[in-house]
Amino acid sequence: MREEIRLIVNDQDYELSIAPNRTLLEVLRDDLGLTGTKRGCDSGECGACTVLLDGKPILSCMTLACEVDGRKIRTIEGMAKDGELQPVQKAFVKYGAIQCGFCTPGMVLSAQALLESNPRPTNEEIKKALSGNLCRCTGYVKIIEAVRQAAKYEG
């Protein structure tokens, strides 16, 4: 059994026929080739698979693709515009918030969602917004600094 769905991913329309038990993560990576969304724990614990659904961060490993039929999804591939990195991405590079890079797409998208809803977050608000995203490399200090600096560009 298959379901016909329409996804709007990074401002592009996709018509897909999928099994109803497929996750958004699987569809993004396997069907659309958007491998910036990372498969981490597959249990909603690490945040590596974070994407934005209608501007809000969600865990794509825990979301069935058929549940987001017709909705807008932004992945890390949809962040840069005309080859120009967004302020959050620039800050992650400039402030050394990237180590191995595996958590970076989810972190960047969670930070972007925060700054779109709260352009001047406190450190506590940044920590709370990123609390669902785990990093095993940086100890978070540089990540929090990058988000704080990106807020200065966003405002």
Render pLDDT for 23-82 as a digit per residue (tens, 0 to 9): 999 999 999 999 999 999 999 999 999 999 999 999 999 999 999 999 999 999 999 999
What angle do the packed helices 104-117 and 141-154 form, to 10 degrees? 40
Domains of the chain: 3-78 (3.10.20.30), 87-154 (1.10.150.120)
pTM assigned to the model: 0.94
Could you report the per-residue pLDDT of 70-125, keeping only the tens digit for each? 999 999 999 999 999 999 999 999 999 998 999 999 999 999 999 999 999 999 99
Distance (Å, whole) CA 84 – CA 69: 29
Burial of 8 (0-12, 13-18, 19+ CB in 10 A): middle
**Cα separations in angstroms, 95 against 58, 71, 90, 147:** 25, 33, 9, 9
> pLDDT confidence of 138, banded at 50, 70, 90?
confident
Residue bearing tokens 């945040």: 47
